[in-house]
Amino acid sequence: MRTRRAKRGRRVDVRKPAILINSDGIEIESLILDISSQGFRLELDDEVRVGELVSLRVDGQLVSAEIRWVLGKEAGGTFLTPVDFSTL
């Protein structure tokens, strides 16, 4: 039996610098590659863990998220509350 995945929101290519704050409070420079109202994909040089609760600081705005996948220098996550990505 296949599980049904939630419909993914429209993704927008942004290529925008951000600071990821990991669960230990360490700030990691990153680049948001694309974003939707529910999640994001970013590039970073440091490691993050799947399931880790993080914060993203973009243009002074702080949003909470959970890392859902990691592949090499890229990671993806979901926002804990929907985000109006047009404000990021």
Render each residue's pLDDT in the chain as its tens digit; 88 residues: 454 455 556 788 889 999 999 999 999 999 999 998 889 999 999 999 999 999 999 988 999 999 999 999 999 999 998 777 666 6
Which residue, 65, 18, 74, is CA-closest to 37? 65
Listed residue (16, 21, 9, 25) closest to 88, CA to CA: 16
pLDDT (0 to 100) of residue 79: 94
**CB atoms < 10 A from the CB of 2, how many?**
4
The CATH class, in words, for 12-87 is mainly beta
Q: Domain-by-domain residue ranges, the chain?
A: 12-87
pLDDT of residue 6: 52
